[in-house]
Each structure stands twice: as C-alpha cells, then as structure tokens.
Structure 1
Amino acid sequence: MRVIVTIQHPGHVHFFKHAIRELQAQGHELHVFARENEVTVELLERAGIDHEVLAGESNSLFSLAAVQATYEARLLRRARRIDPDVITAIGGVAAAHVSSVVGAKSVVFYDTEHATLIKKLAYPFADVVCTPECYRGDIGSKQLTYPGYHELAYLHPDRFEPDPSVLDDAGLDPDDTIAVMRLSSWDSSHDVGQGGFDDPVDVVDRLEAAGATVLLTSEVDLPAELEPYRYTLAPDRMHDLLAFADCFVGEGATMAAEAAVLGTPAVYVNSLALGYVTELDDEYGLVFSYNDEDRHARSLEQALSIVERDDPSTWQRRRDRLLADRIDVTDVIVREVETAGSETEPDQSTLAPNPG
C-alpha cells in the first residue's frame, strides 16, 4: 500500500511512530507530512522519521485557519502525485478532505469530544473514525471503538521502557519527590473560553513547601519567578521523567493520561472534562479531575496529598489493572490502516463498531 500520515501536533508523532515503523517493515510505502507546531518537527527528527513540512506555526485562531488551508492545499498536491491507498491522521480534517478528492480511504483517530469544529469538518468526509470505548458520542456506522487510549500507542509496556538516566540528566536523585507540572496555552479552537489554574506560582510554591521538586513544562511564556523551574531536557525524554515522577499536576489532558498509564498519579486541572480522563479517574483512580470553579484549590489539595502520602504501591496496582483491561493501540492503528487499504472487514475481536 501507499499510505500518507499527517502530523500536526507533537502528540501525533508519538501516536503514529511505532505504526509507521511496523507498516514500513511490512513493505508498505509511507509518506509523512507535518506542520510546525511546538516541538513536532524536532520529535520527528529525533525519531528518525522521514517527513516533509507543509506549513508553519500559527499564533492565533485567525492564523490557524490560514495555516490549515495552506497545509491542506499542499497535502492535496502531494497526494495527487503519490496516489495513496490510505490517508490517516488524528483529528483528520485535511486527511478526510484530501482523501475524498483523490479516492483514498481515510482513517481518522480522535478522542476529544468537545472539539466541535474539527468534528464537523472531518467526520462527514472520513471513511473510518476510530475512538476509545470511553469516547462520549455517537458517530454512526463509520465509528470503530477500541479498549484503550491514544497514549497506549506509545506508552504501553510493549512499546516503552522508561530510562532512569533521565534523573541524572535532570540533576535529580532517585529519592527526590518529583512533581511534573504542565501549563496550557488555551489558543486551540476547542479551548477558547476555558481555563485551569488560578495562580501557577501558588501551585509551585505550595508543592515546594511540601518537599517536592517541581519541573514545569509550558505552552505559554512563564513569569520570571517560574523560569527556573522550566523543564529543559529534550522533548522525547519527558515520558521517562513522567514515569519516575511522584505526581503530575497540570492543565493538559494528554500529559495527565500519559502519567496515568505510566502509573504516576495525575491531577488534571481544566474546566473541560473528557471521556478518557473521566474513565481514568472513575474506573482506575489514576487521574483526579477537577473541572469546576473551585478547581484550583481542590486540585492543589489533592496534589499535596499525593506528594505527602508517597504511596507508589497503590499506583502500581492501579496501573496493573488498567493494563490488564486495555490494549496496545499501535496494533489498532496498523490493523485499521491495512484494513482500509485492502477494503476487508475489520477484526471485531478488539474493535467494535458503535452500536448506534
């Protein structure tokens, strides 16, 4: 097959990287196209994935529309030359549109229920939309669900083993109490009007007072007093750090889920609730989700409780149960891309169409 993979966010690199390698190993022809966004291109380079950058970064919703239009037009030109069998993506606006023009099958993966604009632009044109079972929404007959999360495409223990040298590289000791913190930018189309912490400086101060070493990653400029806490290692080392951290506290759902599947308790502070975050909270107790107006105070109380309690065996037991219930999602990606390319029926042993 000829397969196009489109990458528009750092998380997409992690999600697709193992599937790209497996599909190539099976003899398929892969073409990876990307848009510059945070560390997306750096991650592709560090992963050794051949790619072409089709568009630059955006700094506002208005510029995002222009950048997306440029990306889609350039992707269409490449697709007409390549004549792909399948185009796959997360979200998949450009993938679904371009595939419908060039006669390819589109396989879209998504897990974000509140991204209304993306859903309206992508889902009607997509051939297959793959979502976690916990996704809250009926997409109809084109929806295929699976028992897992995006993060298990790259952090399942069959795919990832954390490297303890990250502690030395970060100047940390194994006995240190480590809190990883994440601040979001709120400039995505589905984040407008939302919020997280009231005062990030207060969070850092309180965690430090409880004995934690705070490492901060941020999509936004930091106030001067928080700059010394910024995480400075290579972006592909973050998962190693999360695996050895004692707690994650932040506004980003993806990092909260990454921490959870690695067995690190996560405190998610965001006015938006998501199906997969809710399941990791309600079913497995690995995420503590705070979405209401008092989210700052309540989330900080929970984070301090985790840091002060220092109970790794509890989180390991909960992670073991999660892994017993959930699958390696890279297997889903490979299977669905190959199924779409061969136009055969999917194997329902791990994928079930939405009954609606």
Structure 2
Amino acid sequence: MKHQPRKILIDIKHPAQLNLFKGLSKELSTAGWDVTISYLGRGKLPAIIQKEYPGFNNIQVGASHGSKWSIFWEGNVKRTFRFFQLIGKNKYNICISASSVPLAFAGFFATTPVIQFYDDPERKRINQLNALLSKKIFFPPVVTASKKVGVFNCLKEWSYLSPDRFTPSTEILETYGLESKKYIFIREVSNKSFNYFNQQDAIVQSFAHKIQPGTKVVLSLEDKSLVDKYPKDWILLKEPVGDIHSLIYHAAAVISSGDSMAREGAMLGVKSVYCGIREMKANLLLEQEGLLVHLPMDTGIDTINKFIRHPYSAEEQISIREKLKAKWTDMVDFMTTQINTYKK
C-alpha cells in the first residue's frame, strides 16, 4: 500500500505573516509533507502569495475589504465555514497559523490539531479564544507559559531574518539607483486593518516635511491611493518587491507606522523608529537591546534625523545580528519540532 504524505494547512491572513512560514513550508515540503497555503483575500496579499509561495496548493479562504462588517462576515464567519469544508475534505494532520480564530474553531470541532505562533499578547480576548480552541499557542518570551500557552525565545520575524536564514544582496540597490546607507526606508501602513483602526492615517506623511532636507527616501505605502500626499521625489515601491529585506538592510534608518516592519529593521541591524500608536510587548525585546525606539506620531523626528546622519557601520550591523543569533532560537526549527509533536 502506497504511503500517504502527511498533510498540513498553513493559514496566512496578513502581509506581516507572509514570511513567517516561507522557510518552514519549503522545509516541510522537502521532508515529504503535502503543504496547503490558505490566505485571506485582502489587498495585495493574494498576488504576493502566488509570487512568494509558488508550487504549493494555494487557496483563498474568505476576504476582507476594509470595513468592520467585511472583517466580521467575510473574514471570520464565512471563513470559518470554508475551513470546515477544507478540513473535512482533506483530512490534514495538523493546521498552523499566526492567529486565526476561524481556523482554530474549525479545527477544534473537526478534531484536527491547530497550533499557532503569535506575537501580540495584548489582544487578550482573541488570544484566549485561540488558546481555548487550539492545541497550543506560542508567543515570544513576553508571556507566562501555561498548559495551553508556550514560549519561543525570539521574535517571529527571526524565522526569515536571522543570519542563518537571510543574506543581504546589493542587486536590489542597483534597481532603484541607491547606495548602501545613503537613504532611509519608510513604511506607511493603512488604518483600514483591524490592528490600526484607531490610528491616524498617513502618520509619516504628517511629518514628512520635517525629515532632514536632501534625504533620499524609499517608501513602502500600503494604501497607494494616498500617494499624492507624499513628496514627489520619494521612491515609491510597487509590491511585491523582489528583495525588500535587502532594501531595509542597506538603509540608514527605518521609520514605520506599523510595528512589524519596525521590528524587521531592528532585527536586520538598522536603526529603527516605530511611530505608530500601539504599545506592544514584542517590541520591548528590541527596545531593551537598543535597536528599536517607539516614538509615536511626530515625536521621533529629532531621533530620525540623528539616525540619518549617523547610521551603523557595516561591522556594527553584522555584530548586532550575530549577538541576536547567539541569544535567540532558530524559529523554523522550533516550529518544525512543535508540528511533529502535535500532528495526528
């Protein structure tokens, strides 16, 4: 009788989760797993999934069009029923996500194990539901471990940014006519997502005129309809970008109104400012290392200009990343171990 491959469903519902499972999915596939990627129909996410996860069984599950009703109905209720159908049909050995109550709910009642890897303990009600319905939910070391809550000794972005997983290139600089450490990288998130509903839109735009004159700026703008609000000489990225993390790595500084890319910059050894309003425990790990500063709205403009004038040297940057590597767990290895522990 032919041996049936083990099956896993990996759910991605936000661009910030795209890279978390990329290395893992490839390693599982190489090890003989049948890997399905489910994703939320949200903004550019479907197009990026097709580009970043080629060769996998990619399935859109639900959608989100920015309104609270769409998030509730299409992004949660209809999504839950679709997961029931997929799990019933495909008989997965295990399902994983970063935070997905619909998947956890479907898995719980279908008796299919679900484990989750998340970094936002502030969302207490969502996390309680996920912990109740999942086999286990894992966080960085900013929570207390319990029967249903585990800890991984790093941040989730380390799964694709550690020196073992990422090697920066200079090729992308040539594409945009840039020189290493001669520009800054800015990420402006949209306030139409659940995480940023209470945040002012276009935060960086509100203080763009205060950034040191003559600074070359690369802009990653989530809501492209706002492009006319920004300086005309800023370089607007058109996602998906082939090697965005090399662009971040070679920047003199990273400024982001979203928390994820601010952490990415810090983990890449770049001086980083998070100017959003959310207080996040995950950021504290990098703030304590002196790699990330949280300065909401325009309160960080003096710090930003100082970072522009005095970026880290190449040697300092490498040293910073090696120190993090010595302290932190390999996230892909950690997730693989948990999958093999909890699978059917």
TM-score by length of 2: 0.89
Matching of residue 215 in structure 1 with residue 221 in structure 2? no
> How far apart are the structure 2 equivalents of 1:179 and 1:326?
27
Please list, as runs of the form range in 1=range in 2, the aligned pairs for 1:86-97 lying within 5 A after superposition: 86-97=94-105
Question: What does residue 79 of structure 2 align with?
Answer: 71
> How far apart are the structure 1 equivalents of 2:302 and 2:201?
15
Q: Which SS does the other structure have where 2:161 is aligned?
A: coil
| Structure 1 residue identity aligned to 2:230 | L
Q: Provide the alpha-carbon RMSD of the alignment.
A: 2.1
Shift of 1:331: 1.0
Q: Which SS does the other structure have where 2:338 is aligned?
A: helix
> How far apart are the structure 2 equivalents of 1:255 and 1:311?
18
> How far apart are the structure 2 equivalents of 1:335 and 1:139?
17
Shift of 1:50: 2.9
> How far apart are the structure 2 equivalents of 1:316 and 1:301?
26
- Shift in CA distance, 161/82, structure 1 to aligned 2, threshold 3 Å: same
Q: Which SS does the other structure have where 1:154 is aligned?
A: helix
Q: Which SS does the other structure have where 1:4 is aligned?
A: strand
Shift of 1:117: 4.5
1:128 aligns with one of 136, 151, 164: 136
1:232 aligns with one of 223, 231, 238: 238
Matching of residue 271 in structure 1 with residue 277 in structure 2? yes
Shift of 1:103: 1.0
Greater length-normalized contact order (CA 8 Å, ≥ 6 residues apart): 1
| Structure 2 residue identity aligned to 1:53 | Q
2:257 aligns with one of 251, 255, 258: 251
| Structure 1 residue identity aligned to 2:290 | G
Conserved 8 A contact 1:179-1:213: yes
| Structure 2 residue identity aligned to 1:326 | W
Conserved 8 A contact 2:40-2:62: yes
2:198 aligns with one of 189, 193, 196: 193
Matching of residue 115 in structure 1 with residue 119 in structure 2? no
Q: Any gaps of 5 or more consecutive residues in structure 1? A: 343-356
Question: What does residue 59 of structure 1 align with?
Answer: 66
Question: What does residue 39 of structure 1 align with?
Answer: 44
Q: Deviations over 1:294-319 (max 9, x none)?
A: x513x111110111123324444333
Conserved 8 A contact 2:268-2:321: yes
- Shift in CA distance, 140/189, structure 1 to aligned 2, threshold 3 Å: farther
1:289 aligns with one of 286, 294, 298: 294
> How far apart are the structure 2 equivalents of 1:273 and 1:197?
18
| Structure 2 residue identity aligned to 1:12 | Q
Conserved 8 A contact 1:248-1:267: yes
| Structure 1 residue identity aligned to 2:216 | T
Q: Any gaps of 5 or more consecutive residues in structure 2? A: 1-5
Conserved 8 A contact 1:208-1:214: no
| Structure 2 residue identity aligned to 1:150 | K
1:158 aligns with one of 154, 157, 164: 164
> How far apart are the structure 1 equivalents of 2:333 and 2:182?
35
Please list, as runs of the form range in 1=range in 2, the aligned pairs for 1:130-145 lying within 5 A after superposition: 130-133=138-141, 135=142, 137-138=143-144, 140-145=146-151
> How far apart are the structure 2 equivalents of 1:12 and 1:45?
14
Q: Deviations over 1:318-342 (max 9, x none)?
A: 3322221112211111111111115
Question: What does residue 350 of structure 1 align with?
Answer: none
Conserved 8 A contact 1:111-1:132: yes
Percent of matched pairs sharing the same residue = 18
Conserved 8 A contact 1:197-1:269: no
1:16 aligns with one of 13, 16, 21: 21
Shift of 1:57: 3.2
- Shift in CA distance, 156/2, structure 1 to aligned 2, threshold 3 Å: same
- Shift in CA distance, 233/172, structure 1 to aligned 2, threshold 3 Å: farther
1:335 aligns with one of 315, 331, 337: 337
Conserved 8 A contact 1:179-1:215: yes
Matching of residue 82 in structure 1 with residue 87 in structure 2? no
Conserved 8 A contact 2:266-2:286: yes
> How far apart are the structure 2 equivalents of 1:336 and 1:311?
36
Shift of 1:11: 2.4
> How far apart are the structure 1 equivalents of 2:44 and 2:241?
7
Conserved 8 A contact 1:184-1:219: yes
Shift of 1:139: 6.3
Shift of 1:214: 0.8
Question: What does residue 3 of structure 2 align with?
Answer: none
Shift of 1:132: 0.9
Shift of 1:202: 2.7
Matching of residue 206 in structure 1 with residue 210 in structure 2? yes
Conserved 8 A contact 1:260-1:319: no
Q: Deviations over 1:199-236 (max 9, x none)?
A: 62533x33351x42111112233252416422236334
> How far apart are the structure 1 equivalents of 2:39 and 2:188?
24
